[in-house]
Amino acid sequence: MPAKPKPKRTMPAEVLSSDEARVLIDACDARSFTGIRNRALIGVMYRAGLRVSEALSLAPKDLDLEVGAIRVLRAKGGRARTVGVDRGGAALLRDWIVRRADATDLGRGDPLFCTDRGEPLTPSYIRVLLPRLARRAGIDKRVHPHGLRHTHAAELRAEGLDVGVISRQLGHASLLTTIRYLDHIAPTAVVEAMGARRW
């Protein structure tokens, strides 16, 4: 009889505070090609809630930073969507667009986030990068690409945004998926209900 596969180990969701997210971004060199690129990449996952695969598949033409819109053409399940990004995230992207334009070997056909030779970045690069930056920034939590998406969703919920808006921003197929997702990463209803009890 073949051995049963071990159950997949799931780690608890760890949401960063806004201060932790900022120091993570600040741990990137704000002057070098790689540092400016990584600041923008972290910024787009954190401030627009993109999955790492969605961020890495972006092209320069997918950005409309004047209105704060990002067109995600290669989303999960093959569904395209448009998401919003705030002024802070857009500023990081603008810095990268300017620096990227200075790299003479890069064209508009190359991925938005790429090496100085136009080669695409890989998800494994980001998965190694984030814990290294977290150590440099003194963050004790487990920091990974999807954790930035968790942080984005938790912040939107804390700001009181409608669940339907959050669902569209995250690109979930159904509202129920978003409700479960939010309850998993930011169980505010449970915490508030328990906090309101009298001793």
Residues taking part in catalysis: 51, 76, 146, 149, 172, 181
* CB-facing half-sphere around the CA of 117: CA atoms within 13 A: 1
CB-based contacts of 193, cutoff 8 Å, min separation 6: none
CA distances from 95 to 79, 106, 134, 167 (A): 29, 16, 22, 29
Question: 26, 55, 9, 7: which is closest to 133 by C-alpha?
Answer: 26
Question: 42, 46, 29: which is closest to 136 by C-alpha?
Answer: 29
- Adjacent-strand bridge partners of 72: 81
| C-beta separation of 74 from 54 below 8 A | yes
Beta strands in 2-91 (DSSP E): 63-64, 69-72, 81-84
Both tokens of residue 71?
């067109």
Report how many helices (DSSP H) and strands (DSSP E) the chain contains, helices first. 9, 3
